[in-house]
Amino acid sequence: MNLQGKKILLGVCGSIAAYKAALVVRLLVKAHAEVKVIMTEAAKDFITPLTLSVLSKNPVSSQFANEDGTWNNHVELGFWADVMVIAPATAKALSRCATGHCDDLLTAVYLSARCPVFFAPAMDLDMYQHPSTRQNIANLLSFGNYLIHPGAGELASGLSGEGRLAEPESIVSQLNAFFSRQTVAAGKRVLITAGPTVEALDPVRFISNRSSGKMGYAIADAFAAAGAQVTVISGPTAVKASMENVNVVNVNSADEMLDAAQGHFDQSDLVIFAAAVADYKPAHRAVQKIKKSEEMMSLELTRTPDIAATLGKQKKQGQLIIGFALETENELEHARRKLTAKNFDYVILNSLNDPGAGFIHDTNKITVIDRNENVRHFSLKPKDEVALDILNIVLEKWSEA
């Protein structure tokens, strides 16, 4: 267990799932972590502070001032923790933290925390799926926080669906994995290409594709959170890195992306080619905007540089290279060819035949193939979770070394 000696701050909100907080505390203490608990006033309707105090072996805080006049310093609590976990996190708690509505001790500590913060939502399925809740979660993730996805099943309302608080074992396991990743990935240099490239036809028009850059940036955030030094060579995209320690180099064309990647390649321990690079570019770029004239227009195209193949030939001993393959037919066959032709260690296959996978979506479904022809299939899941799957594969490889 990587939780030994870690200082963990658990925030408990007013939800029927609050009873699971006792199990979370028990498992953390059993893993030899030091645990302090903050409860909202509403949480006391579902579980007593005494229960959590006995299990954590520390006083439970719920207000700025205790009955005996002592002060719960929210700044000190925020500085104390190695990680903060809010479980269960209600819709109200998500909203207050996302908007900075600081009206109790828990939100004050959250705003003061300098450590990573995990949110484990618990609510009814319609509340969880409501656009306001989804936006609040998106905002929290954009701040660099982490989401422990709720489970699906029977809910307190009698309905069945997504919204159940993740099981205590899963919450503790994800925290353990977080600290494990930090140990293995610390100091590793990771280079990622992300987003589309655009190839200018004239000063107004260009050739490109539908890539949003979401997958590449999710991977960047995952590795940065694990302690790696991450550089992203990014084509034009509205997506931003959530982690502040991600270095982003903005480019437009395939030629620019190759030049930028070349400058970082030799120093990189891991290279992930997640960008959707345009395969062709106009043979001649017009200086002025092309005017409409004839009914038909012919456009001469020429190949863009194959960034992955070019850098794959320069691979050094000890480097890992991962590429993506987006296919629409004979997916596994084409992915295996790319794995060999471009000297990848792993190829990550996306199929546009899988609903919810590929460009634009917030979800993805991947199949990972390694040089030994081992194939791992993963289910459809949010791209931040897909990024963690990719991270864990790399960490396994690094751990073996």
Q: Which residue do the tokens 């949480």 mark?
A: 43
In angstroms, the CA 92 to CA 123 distance is: 10
How is residue 87 written in tokens?
């479980």
Q: Is 338 annotated as a binding residue?
A: yes
209 is catalytic: yes
Catalytic pick among 58, 139, 209, 392: 209
Of 318, 320, 324, whose CA–CA distance to 386 is shortest?
A: 324
CB-CB neighbours of 387 under 10 Å:
24
Q: Is 342 annotated as a binding residue?
A: yes
Q: Is 324 annotated as a binding residue?
A: yes
CA 387 from centroid of its chain's CA atoms? 6
In angstroms, the CA 258 to CA 110 distance is: 41
Q: Is 279 annotated as a binding residue?
A: yes
How is residue 202 written in tokens?
């004239």
In angstroms, the CA 379 to CA 114 distance is: 34
Q: What is the DSSP letter of 162?
A: E
In angstroms, the CA 229 to CA 26 distance is: 34
Q: Which residues pair with 370 in a beta bridge?
A: 346
Specify whether the CB–CB gap between 72 and 66 falls below 8 A: yes
How is residue 126 written in tokens?
């319609």
How is residue 174 written in tokens?
């994800």
How is residue 173 written in tokens?
């396991």
Q: Which residues pair with 105 in a beta bridge?
A: none
Q: Is 383 annotated as a binding residue?
A: no
Is 322 strand, coil or helix? strand
HSE-up of residue 181 (Cα within 13 Å, Cβ side)? 22
Distances (CA, A) of 191 to 16, 104, 206, 399: 44, 41, 26, 19
Tell me the binding residues for CTP: 279, 289, 324, 338, 342
Tell me the binding residues: 279, 289, 324, 338, 342
Residues acting as catalytic residues? 209
